[in-house]
Amino acid sequence: MRNSRFALSRVDGTPLFYEEAGTSRRERPDSCAQIGEGQQADPRPDVVLCDGVGCDGYVWKHLLADLTPRYRTIHPHYRGHGRSPKPERAEAVRIEDLAEDVLSVLDDADSPSAVLMGHSMGVQVCLEVYRREPHRVAGLVLICGAPGHVLRSFRGNDALEPMLPGLRKAVSRSPRLFNKLARTLIPTQLAYALAAAVEIDARVLQEPDFMPYLEGLARVDVDLFLAMVASAAEHSAIDVLPTVRVPSLIVAGDRDGFTPCWRSREMLENIPRAEAIWIDGGSHTAPLEYPDVVGAGVLDFLQRRVAAAGPPAPRAEHPEHDDFD
């Protein structure tokens, strides 16, 4: 099953494209009307895929192939990304707005709760969703990301953060020029070669797997992209980490220069009972570089920790202590 549709954001009514794949909840025996005598409800949760900034799904290529035979996946496109239009208010691209959008998509998809799987900035989005409505979250899979203030550790230092306001100002003066340059220069072999020189491992991540990222990034309005980066730089969900009461998996590459490995260790040490997969040689694109390791680890975690734990407690009963498996 693969369906695509639009939800409306409960923030401001922005249309939000999302795609479903795999087995729908409606097709599983998980309601009283469907469960026969002696049968049990299907414990498998939905899985929501939350991208990094500028992305519309490239990093999930192999994980989707692993997940869809067993789970329903829901993949939203952020506002101004992929097939979702820009919001009317240019400033409405905060992490908080994106978290509300994810909840809007869950409502539209008739998904009472789901595992949130985030890559890069999507990690912050997942944690922000948990802050808002923890009873909607059955588990967390946080991949190559950080809980907040991402520019303070980008490439191991904070040099980029003070440069961002000046860059945004320059783009605001000539947005058409910068968008034209982006659409011309980003989806090229030269850009792939540059990425291979500074971050990705071209020995294991081939150009056909990475080009969809460059092509999607080139379509994103540069001003919107920088506004979203600025929001990710200001946002922090570090305070959320010790409050998490659902099974959590951290996936990190030891060569990740965008969100260095110590940011993942920070989450591991502060989320109660979290576990981790460390990818030797993995960069910020570890799910594409080492798909077998990541896929097997994620599937094992979902079966062993999430399905065994069952759905999260309802809002009024959500635990404030450590009684979870």
What percentage of the chain has pLDDT greater than the value 70?
A: 90
Report if residue 322 sits inside a domain.
no
Q: 232, 31, 247: which is closest to 139 by C-alpha?
A: 247
Instruction: Say how far apart CA 106 and CA 110 lie, in whole Å.
Output: 6
- Please compute the mean of the pLDDT values over residues 132-160 and round it to a whole number: 96
- Establish if 107 belongs to a structural domain: yes
Split into its structural domains, the chain has a count of 1
The mean of the pLDDT values for the chain is 92
Would the pLDDT of 61 be above 80? yes
Q: What is the CATH number of the domain that holds 216?
A: 3.40.50.1820
Query: Contact 259/284 with Cβ under 8 angstroms?
Result: yes
Burial of 325 (0-12, 13-18, 19+ CB in 10 A): exposed
| Structure-block tokens of residue 208 | 């056909």
186 within domain boundaries: yes
Is the pLDDT reported for residue 36 higher than 70?
no
Does a structural domain hold residue 323? no
pLDDT (average), residues 22-27: 68
Q: Band of the pLDDT at 283, cuts 50, 70, 90? A: very high
pLDDT of the residue at 35 = 44
241, 271 in Cβ contact below 8 A?
yes
Is the pLDDT at 85 greater than 50, yes or no? yes
The pLDDT confidence band at residue 32, using thresholds 50, 70 and 90, is very low
What is the DSSP code string of 171-188?
HHHSHHHHHHHHHHHSSS
Residue 97 belongs to some domain of the structure = yes
Specify if 158 maps to a domain: yes
Classify residue 40: in a domain, yes or no: yes
User: Is 211 contained in some domain?
Assistant: yes
Instruction: Say what the pLDDT of residue 208 is.
Output: 94
Domain that holds residue 171: 2-317
Residue 120 to residue 150: CA distance in whole angstroms = 9
pLDDT above 60 (res 316) = no
Indicate the pLDDT class of residue 31, thresholds 50, 70 and 90: very low
